[in-house]
Amino acid sequence: MKKKFIGVTHLDVHFPTKQDVLLFDHIAVGSLSKTRADIHDLEAAAAIDYLTQEGVVIDAFQNAGLDAELGPLEQQYTDHASVNAILSVILSNASKEPRLLEQMSSRQSVQDLVNSFAAIAQINRQQVSESVYMLFKKLHGRLGGAQSTDLETHQRDFHSAFLCSVARAKSVSLSGKPEFDAVPLIHYPHHDDLLMPSARENVVANVVIKNMPTPSPDTPWEAVMDFRGHPDTQRRLFDFRYWMGKVAKELAVDTTSVSELEQELDYLTHEYTEHMKLAKLKIESTTAETLITLIAEVAEDVIKLKFKDAVKAVFSLRHRKIALLEAERQAPGREIAYLVEAARVFGNS
């Protein structure tokens, strides 16, 4: 059974791109109805409506079991979402009530706050206490407009981290089902190390998305949907995702860096592209020779009423496509053929 590949996001932080749609079967959006209602840009709203109608964009929490027991990792992300939400609210309130920031700039107040976190999340109290204390102290030391701007920036960061943790929790939940593989499309802001270490399970997807071609703004969504729905595209995409899964498993037990992974992707792309260039030159040379003799043979066979031989000669042109498919299946780096074909159709910029 082919698994559905799902990207999980929230429209407040990450709007689905054409790159996302080229890679994922579905884009699961948190609070889809509410966030859709908040979109005032007509073009963006039309895009979400179209992708929802096509079944690409789905509600991340539709039919979710509210009473379902959370697994350890899902619970961890859910806990961290709660902590980030609390910090976001504190900073939001501090922008309206400066005395709150003054109160939170003392170590004891921060320790009391972090101790309350411990009731809802498994965190490193000492690390979190020091990080939160230094943040509040720095913000309290700023005055006037600069302080207000910093408060808003950090408040948005914690809110983004909250949404990212929710997306990660939902990704874990979906990936726990046999029919799905899911990764979050939201990345932690610079507060990542405040609550938990960086996760490595999404490294491959992040690198791939970064290397996906970016269709031009005037490329209609329908063109992207037509491309990904083609049978040849589906075959290449299946191979590509299989390669992604294989590399992800190797990353879990290896120390391969992101730069090395990008180099591997570049190398495979080069190997595949060069192999197919040579294969096409050979096939096109043979096809040209076939066409030169074909015209004469077909004309002669038709005159002599040898229609069977004429049809046979015409069908020989199909060998070109078969030969190309065979060359592709034998090409080094064939696992990333989908990426190369997408770049050919939509460009690399």
Q: For residue 43, what pLDDT band results from cuts at 50, 70 and 90? A: very high
The residue ranking higher by pLDDT, 209 or 313, is 209
CA 242 to CA 325: how far, in whole Å?
A: 19
Q: 60-64, 115-119, 260-264, 309-313: which range is least confident on average?
A: 309-313
Instruction: Please check the confidence at residue 260 and state whether its pLDDT lies above 50.
Output: yes
Contact present, 166 and 77 (Cβ < 8 Å) = yes
What is d(CA 236, CA 265) in angstroms, rounded to the nearest whole number?
A: 15
- The answer to whether residues 287 and 272 touch, using CB atoms and an 8 Å cutoff, is no
**Is 87 strand, coil or helix?**
helix
- In the prediction, which pLDDT does 194 show? 47
User: Lowest-confidence range among 162-166, 219-223, 276-280, 301-305?
Assistant: 301-305
The residues, ordered by sequence, that sit 6+ positions from 206 with a Cβ below 8 Å of its Cβ are 187, 258
With a cut of 50, say whether residue 99 has pLDDT above it: yes
Lowest mean pLDDT among 69-78, 171-180, 250-259, 339-348: 250-259
pLDDT in tens, 185-225: 987 655 444 444 445 557 788 888 888 999 999 999 999 99
Place of tokens 């309290």: 140
pTM: 0.77
Mean pLDDT of 164-189: 86
The answer to whether 161 and 188 are in contact (CB under 8 A) is: yes
Residue showing tokens 């990080």: 131
Q: Average pLDDT for residues 256-275, to the nearest whole number?
A: 81
Q: What percent of the chain shows pLDDT beyond 70?
A: 70
Strand pairing of 180-184 and 4-9? parallel
Beta pairing, strands 4-9 & 57-59: unpaired
Average pLDDT over the chain, rounded to whole? 77
- Interhelix angle 144-175/125-141, rounded to 10 degrees, is 150
